[in-house]
Structure 1
Amino acid sequence: MIKTDIEKQKEESLVKELVLEVGTVCATDFFETNVSVKLPDYQRPYVWNVEKLKQLLKDFKDHFFYDGDYNENAQPYYLGCVLLYQKSEEEFEIIDGQQRVTSLLILDYACNDSKSYLAQEKWNLEYSSMLSTAVIKHNFKYLSENVSLEIKNHLNDIFSKLVFTVIKTNSEDEAFTFFDSQNSRGVSLSAVDFLKSYHLRELKGNEDLQRRFAKQWDSNNKGQFLTELFDFILWRSRSWKGKNLSFENKDAILKDFQKKTIKEQNNDIIRLYPNVCNTLANQLTYDSQLGLCVQPNILNLQSTASQYPFSIRQPIQKGVGFFLYTEKYFAVYNQLFTDKKNETFIKVYNKLITQNSYYLKMFFKLASVVYYDKFKDKKLQEFTLWMDYLLGSYRIYQRTIVTQTVIKILRDNVQNLLDVIEMSYRPEDVFEFIRSITDKNHYDVDLTSDPVYGVRNNYKNANLSFYKKEENSELIAKEKWIYEYIRKK
């Protein structure tokens, strides 16, 4: 439901809107409501820092002003979702969204003083945390001193174009479940929605492009797939460098794919960087009579998404560049793991990798996308076999694989595997490095005490079946089996 639905019912209170499962409302109407809105005791403290306020003010300036003048024709600015639990007919609790709601109320108070919603007691949220109180005072001081005159003079106009999606639930159990899922994990499921909104705003004035990229984004994001792509593939491929490694969180993802993206003067021109899809020549020959001859690559004027000439670690351009970059790696991931176009690659994946731990399997997907980005199909099956050789040594040696196992693989070796793939000139350089960091003695483990159908025995049996070895064969010989398999192919 969009804002026009609410405009048709101006005479009705917000309460009627809130009893709907989902509705969209502007900040002005949201704050004008006379219902009681409170913070539940289990809410986390208000923790928005000055950096977030700076970004919010910058977004307002970029979106609502042109050459310093307020743009009355500016499109609504989407502020995400506010989840409310309805305790009674006129009493609601904010389950999710209190950080944004509180920040807007502080901004309103800093700009409008006695005419603000807080001063008129239309809103009176109570914060039990001392941390909340301290942050609110600090942020109020900052906003009182730093809000530009143009934003201050037009704040009421801006509020009328700030849009929330309001979700209401009558079930307290639902409220707790939603709260736990949003606040107990490192990455919010709405991170990709922020990325979509942020980069669509870079295309303001070009509605055709906005529609094209919004439609493609929503199609690619079925089942929230883009969350997995950004969390486990794109962010890790760009951030897991060297030995200083950490896991993703919402702020880190938004920092990398929002703040660190580049703004060009002309958004229609996308800067390119050298990679396997973007080289002038792929080989040269030398003849004693004719001299040097450079063999150019074939130019694909109409490329499919997986062939877009981007590199996974390259700088990303705001707007069009970001959406095309996302489309490329969505297509690459699907080409490898969903469409299964490379039969030999997917055979190894299905027979061996899927028998591995979830964490090792996700790491394999990450490394495969990075490898494909560097070398495309060249010796892809060999890469799969050697990656399984490395990951399998951990699966057999350790009874339990934990989240930190992947960090250990990258951090505790002489070089970071992802860096090696990125810097290698030949696939053989990658394979040699993988062999050098794989301790084959890890395969020399007695599994007779393990359950017959335990994870380690299942993995061992999958290997014996794939390499066509006798039941009593030992995995310590796996490196030899891989060479034999490659020679046969």
Structure 2
Amino acid sequence: MGINGQLAIPEYQRPYCWQDQQLAQLLTDIREQKLLCKELSPSLPYYLGSLILHQEGDKLNIIDGQQRITTLVLIASLLQQGQNFPLVHSLEFKHPISQQQIKHNLKWLQSYFSEQQEYWLSLLDFTKLQFTLVITQTEDDAYRFFETQNTGGVRLGGPDIIKAHHLRAVASLHQKAFAKQWEALGKLDDTVNALLKGRYWQQINMRGLPSHQQQKQLRDTIVSELAQQTGNGADIAFGRAYRQLGLAGEISQHLAQQGYELRQPLNAGVNSIRYLSYFRSLYHQYWENPDLPHLPDFKAFITWLKGLEGCGYLEGLYKACLLQYISQFGENQLETAAKKLFRVVYSRRVSNQKAVRENSIYAFIRETPVLDWVALSYTPEQCFHYLDSFSLQVEGSNLDSNSVKRRFIGTVCDFFKMPLAPEDYKPHFAQALTQKVAGSLK
């Protein structure tokens, strides 16, 4: 059965992004395989993995393999092997990131081949390249193959896969515009990790999350929560509203915020893209780069908080709590909320004997459902009541040495202007911090 069609790169594909390391690895693989073939049988082809294509009319959309194919096109062009690799004259690259990377890689490859072009001309025979070819008739089948691939080069991450899922759900007329919007979001990993914590760590349906070291499991979790479990439908944003009743019975309605709820159900396509765009914007504005001249105290607090030592896992939970609060209440009493959330979330730094391990955060959130305290509150004051009810305890070991715990308490005392000597940390730190955070309401 013949295969007919023009190869094309769909809008929902990520741009061409291979860099020097991946180029060198591909050339090394080709050279080693060619030398092995020479020893066994000169006629053996050399195998370069699988390609996944989606047949769409007279087009064959590249679902997996764009990075390798593009690199081979560049090599064939430089080695003047276009007659043996017709793709040199057929593929188009419209994305500006792809175009920029192609320019860089052409220079790198030109330099690489400059002193050994004859060697590579004799070594590389494009008529002997071999791939496993998978061609699907539906985008759904192509996507299922795509999300399970782990080919060489830059491994697909969760955000890359959910991008493909949601852009293919957008009407073709608007795919390019939403693809540009997605690319403008930049690196989504930290935002997505915060969203996963907010969506998974809830008492009504508490679920554990894979460790940051379990890359495949974490990727599968992202795909499941933010792609496979999304529905079909319009762009719907849920949010808190309240009705004010007048003495004559008249009703006025008010919206607490204009964005999306962190834990809301999502639909594939535009809904999920805008949801991620909204939270990426919140993450950048209130955590990554809090340039907020109208909230100088909040900016100063967040800047200080990001510099704390030995608190990486706690910071992950804190960011989820902060996004949950802002998505519900906006900037309403935000500085107060930030400090009250700190007292609860960072309590693990002083209630543990030594280190704060990743798995201890999940145990803490099961006992202290701080995300639920925020999510289930109708007003900031109700949320503060829950946060203030938390009892902060200081575990007394490792306070008489130069430990991370002792340095942490000293840093907190300096920031909140609590003049405590090290011998007073155990009996007085918890009470002093609680009073300082309560005083931020005034």
Please classify the TM superposition score into its range, dividing by the shorter chain length.
Answer: 0.5 to 0.7
| Percent identity for Structure 1 against Structure 2 | 16
Alignment of 1:369 onto 2:338: no
Q: 1:309 aligns with which of 239, 256, 259?
A: 259
Aligned to 1:271: 236
Aligned 1:8-157 pairs, distance under 5 A:
35-37=45-47, 64=55, 71-73=56-58, 76-79=61-64
Give the letter aligned to residue 223 of structure 2. L
Alignment of 1:483 onto 2:438: yes
Distance 1:202 1:34, change over 3 A: farther
Aligned 1:444-483 pairs, distance under 5 A:
445=396, 447-451=398-402, 454-472=403-421, 474-477=428-431, 478-483=433-438
Runs ≥4 residues deviating over 6 A: 18-23, 81-84, 121-125
Distance 1:332 1:80, change over 3 A: farther
Give the letter aligned to residue 379 of structure 1. Q
> Match of 1:314, SS?
coil
Give the letter aligned to residue 240 of structure 1. W
Give the letter aligned to residue 276 of structure 2. T
Deviation at 1:446, TM superposition (A): 5.7
Deviation at 1:406, TM superposition (A): 1.3
Q: What is the distance in 2 between the residues matched to 1:379 and 1:4?
A: 51
Aligned to 2:252: 295
Structure-2-length-normalised TM-score:
0.62
Alignment of 1:253 onto 2:213: no
Distance 1:20 1:390, change over 3 A: closer
Contact 2:7 2:60 in 1 (8 A): no
Distance 1:327 1:124, change over 3 A: closer
Aligned to 1:216: 181
Deviation at 1:124, TM superposition (A): 10
Distance 1:75 1:214, change over 3 A: farther
Contact 2:196 2:222 in 1 (8 A): yes
> Match of 2:357, SS?
coil
Aligned to 2:386: 433
Deviation at 1:255, TM superposition (A): 1.3
Q: What is the distance in 2 between the residues matched to 1:434 and 1:403?
A: 22
Aligned to 1:192: 159
Q: Deviations over 1:219-254 (max 9, x none)?
A: 212xxx212221x21222222222442336111211
Q: What is the distance in 2 between the residues matched to 1:73 and 1:383?
A: 57
Q: 1:286 aligns with which of 225, 229, 246?
A: 246
> Match of 1:193, SS?
helix
Contact 2:237 2:259 in 1 (8 A): yes
RMSD, aligned α-carbons: 4.3
Give the letter aligned to residue 484 of structure 1. G
Q: What is the distance in 2 between the residues matched to 1:210 and 1:81?
A: 19
Q: 1:348 aligns with which of 295, 301, 304?
A: 301
Give the letter aligned to residue 218 of structure 2. N
Alignment of 1:201 onto 2:168: yes
Aligned to 1:133: none
Contact 2:166 2:269 in 1 (8 A): yes
Q: What is the distance in 1 between the residues matched to 2:160 and 2:298?
A: 33
Q: What is the distance in 1 between the residues matched to 2:265 and 2:414?
A: 44
Give the letter aligned to residue 225 of structure 2. D
Aligned to 2:197: 236
Contact 1:284 1:292 in 2 (8 A): no
Deviation at 1:327, TM superposition (A): 0.8
Give the letter aligned to residue 439 of structure 2. E
Give the letter aligned to residue 345 of structure 2. L
Deviation at 1:256, TM superposition (A): 1.5
Deviation at 1:336, TM superposition (A): 0.7
Deviation at 1:447, TM superposition (A): 4.9
Q: Deviations over 1:66-92 (max 9, x none)?
A: xxxxx51556142256779x9xxxxxx
Distance 1:486 1:298, change over 3 A: closer
Aligned to 2:18: none
How many aligned positions are there?
327
Q: What is the distance in 1 between the residues matched to 2:202 and 2:150?
A: 40
Deviation at 1:390, TM superposition (A): 1.6
Deviation at 1:294, TM superposition (A): 2.6
Distance 1:36 1:203, change over 3 A: same
Distance 1:21 1:210, change over 3 A: farther
Give the letter aligned to residue 191 of structure 1. G
Q: What is the distance in 1 between the residues matched to 2:303 and 2:363?
A: 25
Distance 1:445 1:431, change over 3 A: farther
Q: What is the distance in 2 between the residues matched to 1:37 and 1:367?
A: 49
> Match of 2:249, SS?
strand
Distance 1:122 1:469, change over 3 A: closer
Q: What is the distance in 2 between the residues matched to 1:37 and 1:75?
A: 21
Give the letter aligned to residue 244 of structure 2. L
Q: What is the distance in 2 between the residues matched to 1:19 and 1:330?
A: 32
Q: Deviations over 1:116-141 (max 9, x none)?
A: xxxxx99799xxxxxxxxxxxxxxxx
Distance 1:292 1:204, change over 3 A: closer
Contact 1:34 1:122 in 2 (8 A): no
Q: What is the distance in 2 between the residues matched to 1:4 and 1:81?
A: 9
Give the letter aligned to residue 483 of structure 1. A
Unaligned runs of 5+ in 2: 1-5, 10-21, 28-42, 73-127, 211-216
Deviation at 1:354, TM superposition (A): 3.5
Structure-1-length-normalised TM-score:
0.57
Q: What is the distance in 1 between the residues matched to 2:267 and 2:389?
A: 37
